[in-house]
Amino acid sequence: MGRPESLGSRSSSVSRLGRRRLDRRVDHDRRASRRHTVCRATRRASQDQLEGASRHRRQWAGSQLRRWGPRARRWGYDRRRDSGGGRPCAEVHLCRHRQGELVSSFGVIVVDKPEGPTSHNVVSIVRRGTGVRKVGHAGTLDPRASGVLVLCLGPATRLSEYLSTSKKIYAARIRFGESTKTYDAEGETTSFAGELPSEAQIESALDTFRGEIQQIPPPYSAVKIQGRKAYELARAGKPVKLDPRSVTVYELKVLDYQPPDLSIRVECSAGTYIRSLAHDLGAALSTGAHLVALRRLKAGHFGLEHAARLETLEAAMRRGEWQSWLLPASEALPDFPIVTVEKPELEKIRNGQRIPARYQATGMARALGQDGELVAILESVEHGREWQPRKVFLS
């Protein structure tokens, strides 16, 4: 008689375990359904906000966004894909707005970085202020340097590899008579010189730094050696040996010379270290030199006239008006020619397929939809007869 009882008790416990699992599954399905409903409500409301619905519809959408927006964002809703009757179009990323609405975040912001914060600090400030998860810079600036810092937001971060390779223009101040470990004013002094060079000697020495040159990065730099950054090894007291690299100095002009300080203007290729230029110039003149001040005037086509001061941008982010500083991604690469694509071509681009070129194509190009939005970066193939999508921004 004991055996049936044990079997009965066991079957009872199994059934209770099965009920618990079933209850958990039902709860999970209920939560998933609610999550889908909330995200769908947020998506519809954001479309009404962005697509110019009636006043009453916009008011309703605003209340829906205030109600469901925070929860939808916690559940991973940070973008929408424009339907347009099923027509494929550029992916529109959305982020949080101070008033609770969702706004587009596909573009670049040019910041006039002050001395002090690192480039990563500026990225963190913009990420927190705008609510955009993906923010990156297209070319770092040293903490002591100021000037143009290009930030890519949303899917535009995929353009950073093209932006970071553009030419740079700097204004620099070099001090002769003293060399440092870091090649700038922060490092420990390693040598002094009694005499200072004349302006004629400086002009003669600068000739060797124009055009394509071989340059060794500073030991205190972010260049990686076997997976570790050079400055980490240098701070740990370990020897740092970096290989020279080829860089191009397009223009090197003396602006002013008030001994011991020399002010210059440098137009150079990406990857050029102005600290190394100052150090090498001092070595060539046998006087020693280090960099005192550095300001980036231009990065690619973006100059100080396009840049927002960091405090101005922070104030705009607090007011929820930072989008006035957001430049469309379609304007980020003006050197790339424009290819306007039709609906059938959009379908091919979405699937990574080639499209025919209407003219003899060379190099890279920007593919824009009928609405002027960037949909892809193309590269010419088959001797310029076709375009191959390299970066696709379609949903």
| Of the candidate ranges 13-17, 141-145, 253-257, 364-368, the one whose mean pLDDT is the lowest | 13-17
Q: CA 135, CA 124: separation in Å to the nearest integer?
A: 8
Residue 213, helix vs strand vs coil = strand
Predicted pLDDT of residue 83: 34
Predicted pLDDT of residue 236: 85
Predicted pLDDT of residue 228: 85
Q: Where are the domains of the chain?
A: 2-77, 103-164+303-329, 168-299, 336-392
What share of the chain has pLDDT > 70, as a percent?
73
Q: Which residues make Cβ contacts (< 8 Å) with residue 319, sequence separation at least 6? A: 98
Higher pLDDT, 207 or 35: 207
Answer positive or negative: Cα dihedral of 313, 374, 271, 228.
positive
User: Does 329 have pLDDT greater than 50?
Assistant: yes
Count Cβ neighbours within 10 Å for each residue of 234-243 and write b for 16 or more, e otherwise. beeeeebeee
Rounded to an integer, the average pLDDT of 40-45 is 54
Going by pLDDT thresholds of 50, 70 and 90, the confidence category of residue 187 is confident
Instruction: Please list the residues that pair with 291 across neighbouring strands.
Output: 174, 184
Predicted pLDDT of residue 78: 41
Going by pLDDT thresholds of 50, 70 and 90, the confidence category of residue 238 is confident
Report angle CA 391, 305, 106 to the nearest 5 degrees. Answer: 30
205 contacts 284 by C-beta, under 8 angstroms: yes
SS (H, E, C) 25-83: HHHHHHHHHHHHHHHHHHHHHHHHHHCCCCHHHHHHHHHHHHHHHHHHHHCCCCEECCC
Predicted pLDDT of residue 249: 97
The domain defined by 168-299 folds into Pseudouridine synthase (3.30.2350)
Predicted pLDDT of residue 12: 47
Residue 303, helix vs strand vs coil = strand
Q: For 182-288, list the strands marked E by DSSP.
A: 189-192, 211-215, 224-225, 228-229, 245-258, 261-268
388: exposed, middle or buried (C-beta count within 10 Å: 0-12, 13-18, 19+)?
Answer: middle
Predicted pLDDT of residue 112: 97
Mean pLDDT for the chain? 81
End-to-end CA distance of the chain: 67
CATH fold match for the domains 103-164+303-329 and 336-392 = no
How many angstroms separate the Cα of 296 from the Cα of each of 111, 173, 354?
11, 12, 39
Q: CA 192, CA 264: separation in Å to the nearest integer?
A: 22
Predicted pLDDT of residue 36: 52
pLDDT tens per residue across span 214-230 = 999 999 888 888 888 88
Number of helices followed by number of strands (H, E) in the chain: 9, 23
The domain defined by 336-392 folds into 2.30.130
The closest alpha carbon to 298, from 113, 148, 152, belongs to: 148
What share of the chain has pLDDT > 90, as a percent?
57
* Cis bond before residue 260 (omega within 30° of 0): yes
Q: Which CATH number among 1.10.1200.10, 3.20.20.70, 3.30.2350.10, 3.40.50.720 corresponds to the domain 103-164+303-329?
A: 3.30.2350.10
Catalytic residues: 142
